[in-house]
Amino acid sequence: MKQDLLGYSATQVRNREVFLLKFAKNFGTFEYQLDSLRRVWARLGKERDTSGQSHAGLLVFANILIRHAIFGFQHIASYQSFLAWLTFRPGLEALLMIGKFLDDPVNAEIWRDRQKNREAYLKAFSGRQFVSKALPRSGDFRRILSRLNDDFMHPNPDFAYRDTTVQEEGRSVTLEVQFFDVSPEVHEAHLLAYLNLMDVILEASEGLVNAFCGPPAQSRNVKSPWVGDESTRATRLATGNPIAKRVMEELGLWQFSHQFDQK
């Protein structure tokens, strides 16, 4: 797709309008998730943990998580799924850091002094060492972070050819890099993957905060029932499109029965 700046901007606006018409219910789901995520993490600014310690400083990282969740969703709504995950990546990393800081306050010092002692920083915050005890499902989140690094951060073969099309006219060959999602099914899979991941993050965040601060005074079910409502839709996509299935499983943590082929 050939794009000048004005045409590109106009397509973004049009895509958002199309998205709101087609996926209004999913837009509402994300709004609910954001509100719930804010409520969960806001407790750190108002309460102390069960031993009387304050963890208000972690709100910086919770806000990074929420901010980049919004940024990423805006790219989904623009039919630019590849940008959604690239943009959300710092938020996911901030969530993993919260778990490391709660595991051991020394990790906060290592993070602060990362330029002075790069080796210590890489040892504490990379690979399997990035998994924490404090954050539920941190192993899953770390694996997604690794996948984002591989598929959305570097122009390796998967990155380079995923959004490239070839047109042959006689002896001439034209290579075009797409600015927007081409496959409706794959875009929808990214949407469902993103929303399901947000639900898992919301549940993990609630578990982490409750473990340190105790159950909230006014209990509220932060998890929406949307997954149950959308399971048939997700299974249909996974059954009909192997790329969509991989996106939902590897990025969104969807779990499907193995009644259909992996490939």
Residue % of the chain over a pLDDT of 90: 75
87-130 pLDDT tens trace: 999 999 999 999 999 999 999 999 999 999 999 999 999 999 99
Integer-rounded Cα radius of gyration of the chain: 20
Average pLDDT of each block of 10 consecutive residues along the chain (263 residues)? Answer: 81 96 95 94 92 93 98 98 96 98 95 94 92 97 95 85 81 85 96 96 96 82 68 93 96 78 43
234-253 pLDDT tens trace: 999 999 999 999 999 999 99
Tell me if 202 sits within 8 A of 33, measured CB to CB. Answer: yes
Q: Is the overall model pTM greater than 0.75, yes or no?
A: yes
Tokens 């002094």 label which residue? 113
Kindly state the DSSP code that residue 259 receives in the 8-state scheme. S
- Nearest Cα to 58, choosing from 169, 1, 132, 148? 132
User: Where do the structural domains in the chain lie, given as residue ranges?
Assistant: 5-250
Tell me if 256 sits within 8 A of 246, measured CB to CB. Answer: no
